[in-house]
Amino acid sequence: MLNLVLFGPPGAGKGTQSQKLIEKYGLIHLSTGDLLRIEKANRTPLGLEAQKLMDDGKLVPDAVVIGMISNKLDSNRQAVGFIFDGFPRTVVQAEALDRLLEEKNTAISGMIGLEVPDDELERRLLQRGKESGRPDDANPEVIRKRIKEYNDKTAPVAGFYKAQNKLENIDGTGTEEDVFAVICSIIDSWLKG
């Protein structure tokens, strides 16, 4: 299986690159942000619990997202592989993901980190906020809070995969096509083994 963690701060391009990658490699895209937004839109108990935290730019509890990912792994047993987008976002989540994959006799192939400076992240998210309807994109203060939450709680996840020799950081500031080409060359090198 090919199991990729696409990593990076809010607005780095994880979702954008995931859409291109699922077409090329036939992987299942698992974005905890997208899954949570569906729960929110359906006004499920989980969605209502998550809403306040998401709109405020804070992480939702580990147990919530780990449970969602576990369900998705179980319901996609025939998958050739997964792209994890926006998950794991804490070291606790990364440890849980390793255990879940081990139970399925597989593992993370590697993590690709998209590096983009904060001012460009803010620019991209404010721009998207004009059309996306995402409340967490509409307000510069919430965007900055998401970036701070990333630096405080999520950045250490890179060290977790680095210790396993699975981390590749790349420049995320080129065009979407530039970034895609670099990601594909890394994945192809993994596939060649």
Peptide bond into 10 cis (omega under 30): no
Helix (H) or strand (E) holding 162: helix 156-162
Question: Distance (Å, rounded) from C-alpha 98 to C-alpha 193?
Answer: 20
Question: Distance (Å, rounded) from C-alpha 107 to C-alpha 110?
Answer: 9
22 is a site residue for Mg ion (CB under 5 A): no
Closest CA to 73 of 19, 65, 91, 186: 65
Question: Distance (Å, rounded) from C-alpha 149 to C-alpha 145?
Answer: 6
CB of 10 to Mg ion, least distance (A): 8
Q: Can you tell me which of 103, 115, 176, 188 binds ligand AP5, judged by CB under 6 A?
A: 176
Q: Which is nearer to ligand AP5, 13 or 113 (CB)?
A: 13
Binding range to ligand AP5, per CB under 6 A, among 73-81, 84-92, 103-111, 155-163 = 84-92
Q: Which is nearer to ligand AP5, 155 or 191 (CB)?
A: 155
Q: Which is nearer to ligand AP5, 27 or 60 (CB)?
A: 60
Helix (H) or strand (E) holding 41: helix 32-41
Query: Where on the chain is the footprint of Mg ion (CB under 5 A)?
Result: 14-15
What is the binding site for ligand AP5 (CB under 6 A)?
8, 10-16, 32-33, 36, 53-54, 57-60, 65, 86-87, 89, 93, 124-125, 128, 136, 146, 175-176, 179
